[in-house]
Structure 1
Amino acid sequence: MGLFDFLFGNKTKKIEDFKSRGAIIVDVRSKGEYESGAIPGSKNIPLQKISSKMGEIKKWDKPVITCCASGMRSASAATILKSSGVEAMNGGGWFSLSQKL
């Protein structure tokens, strides 16, 4: 395990694990940002609506990978989801995440 993996975890392996368990990708950018380009099959739930959609998200009963433009909003979304009992991880920027999928 390299220093980077030790400090930040191996995101690619975690993404593979989540994918193998049917993870849902939630893009937390605005509707306009999402419509300008997104990961096929992802769901658009803007960050400010995550809390109000928690019941729906929990019903999926799947791990969630969050993404946004750079990884800042998706980090916040993943924290909110985890604090509500949803298995979630920050996938970072949507374009970078799409390359890892």
Structure 2
Amino acid sequence: MIDVRTREEFSGGHVAGSINIPLNEIQERFEELKNLKSPLILCCASRNRSGQAQHYLSQKEIDCHNGGS
């Protein structure tokens, strides 16, 4: 599970075992994401940021799903 919230939001509480990759770092950390076991489940606070990440990664042929909040 990839949590795309900010580091501050993530440190305030997150799903055990999730990885924090803030939305604004998704493009620059693409190689790291590409090497993770898929499908990736993306989450955030409201489904908005995870939806943006899902759209971008899907276009790059990464198997991922918007898990929402």
Shorter chain as denominator, the TM-score bin is over 0.9
Q: Confirm or deny that 1:59 pairs with 2:38.
A: no
Q: Normalized against structure 2, the TM-score is what?
A: 0.95
Which residue is 1:39 aligned to?
Answer: 15
Which residue is 1:28 aligned to?
Answer: 4
Alignment of 1:1-101 (within 5 A): 25-93=1-69
Segments ≥4 residues shifted beyond 2 Å: none
Alignment gaps of 5+ in structure 2: none
Shift of 1:81: 0.8
Percent identity of paired positions between Structure 1 and Structure 2: 39
Larger proportion of helix: 1
* Aligned positions, number: 69
- Greater RCO (Cα-Cα under 8 Å, separation 6 or more): 2
Q: Normalized against structure 1, the TM-score is what?
A: 0.66
Q: Deviations over 1:45-76 (max 9, x none)?
A: 00010011111111124210100011100000
- The structure number with the bigger radius of gyration is 1
Kindly report the root-mean-square deviation, in angstroms, between the aligned alpha carbons of the 2 structures. Answer: 0.8
- Measure the CA separation in 2 of the matches of 1:66 and 1:59: 15
